[in-house]
Amino acid sequence: MTEPQTISGVTGSTSGGGAGDLTVALHIGAPFTDEDQLIWSLRRDSARLLQDGVLVRRPGTYLKDLTDLKGRAAKEGISDEACEDFLEGVLRDADPARVVLSMSAILGVPAWMLNDGRLYRNAGANTAALRAVFADHRCEFFLGLRNPATLVPAGFAAQSQKDWYGFARDTDLMELRWSEVVGDILTANPDCAITVWCNEETPVVWPQVLGHVTGLGAGYRFTGETDILRQAMTEEGTRRLEAYLAERPKLSEQQRNQVRELFLSYFHAEDAVEEEIDLPGWSQGFVDEMTERYFADIDLIRSLPGVTVID
């Protein structure tokens, strides 16, 4: 196995640095991207990761309590004791340098994702409340982005409170910008770095996502590195890809990315086709224009201080 690279304070050893040196990696979605696949992919290596200083717990063991603390932080505030009690419950007898937690719906519920004509307008306030739970520790945010041309239809379909006109209201859909969401998070959490990636690229960049979230780097080999690819490729293609990569351990990360892209193009699963969009006023040209603006917005995000874009 390739030696772990040290990123963001992960020691690569079994010994943690003590509570004050702990880094909390917070996966915050976005909704309708990989959901909690990130945690389940990492959990496949949970024992080995813990040996390398990274703790990954199942969301079911902490999400209810974390949601409660986040809500209290947003309203009346929370005590240091409550925060430390929660963290001790997560760590139990482990002493890691880094803990990975997920709250994949924190940006907002589907019915209100376009509130006031903005995409996830409360992202800054919500993440600040979450960050407050770990006020005495270093925090980093991790966020998958999705093209608004497919995100908005997915969000509309996931809720039943509003019809299309109530859902979209007077939103200028061409002006939806992830850069505003990321900017809001940065402004509300000036001491936190944020790492983002495009959902459309996730099958290929998934190993880098896992490496960044754990802080162990792109050279670390994860059992779940093809979990997303499996959803987009045929079974035969996935099997052949894994065999090909296993036989060539000295390939660079750039070369491995190129191999994954090539296999995906040849063995794309027929049932993983693009979904049809049937919304009032939407046409192929409308979707194409939204997509072009999304790509331009990603370029803008690359220029934001404190942001890492995985591609």
Contact status, residue 32 vs residue 156, Cβ threshold 8 Å: no
- Is 119 domain-assigned? yes
What does 139-199 look like in DSSP terms, one character per residue? EEEEEEE--HHHHHHHHHHT--SS-HHHHHTT--GGG--HHHHHHHHHHH-TT-EEEEEEG
Instruction: Note down the domain range covering 302.
Output: 19-226+295-310
- Summarised one tens digit per residue, pLDDT across range 90-134 is 999 999 999 999 999 999 999 999 999 999 999 999 999 999 999
pTM, 2 dp: 0.91
- Is 281 domain-assigned? no
- Is 158 domain-assigned? yes
The CB density around residue 74, as the number of other CB atoms within 10 Å, is: 16
Question: Residue 2: pLDDT above 90?
Answer: no
pLDDT at 273: 54
Question: Residue 182: pLDDT above 60?
Answer: yes
User: pLDDT: is 15 or 304 the higher one?
Assistant: 304
- Angle of helix 148-157 relative to helix 284-302, nearest 10 degrees, comes to 110
Taking Cα atoms as reference points, which of 220, 178, 183, 214 lies closest to residue 198? Answer: 178
- Is 266 domain-assigned? no
pLDDT at 1: 34
Question: Residue 169: pLDDT above 80?
Answer: yes
Q: How far apart are CA 92 and CA 256, in angstroms?
A: 37
- Is 25 domain-assigned? yes
CATH assignment at residue 181: 3.40.50
Q: How far apart are CA 151 and CA 25, in angstroms?
A: 24
- Is 231 domain-assigned? no
pLDDT at 179: 98
The CA–CA distances, whole Å, from 233 to 150, 262, 276 equal 20, 11, 20
pLDDT at 271: 64
Question: Residue 15: pLDDT above 80?
Answer: no
Contact status, residue 233 vs residue 176, Cβ threshold 8 Å: no
pLDDT at 86: 97
Taking Cα atoms as reference points, which of 33, 179, 194 lies closest to residue 128? Answer: 194
The CA–CA distances, whole Å, from 207 to 221, 228, 244, 305 equal 8, 10, 16, 24
Domains: count for the chain: 1
Question: Residue 56: pLDDT above 50?
Answer: yes
Residue 310's H or E segment, with its range, is strand 307-310
The CB density around residue 186, as the number of other CB atoms within 10 Å, is: 19
Question: Residue 66: pLDDT above 90?
Answer: yes
Output the average pLDDT for the chain. Answer: 91
Instruction: Of 80-89, 188-197, 265-274, give the lowest mean pLDDT range.
Output: 265-274
- Is 150 domain-assigned? yes
- Is 137 domain-assigned? yes
pLDDT at 254: 87
pLDDT at 272: 61
Question: Residue 7: pLDDT above 70?
Answer: no
Contact status, residue 119 vs residue 107, Cβ threshold 8 Å: no
Question: Residue 14: pLDDT above 70?
Answer: no
- Summarised one tens digit per residue, pLDDT across range 209-265 is 999 999 999 789 999 999 999 889 999 999 999 999 999 988 988 899 899 999 999
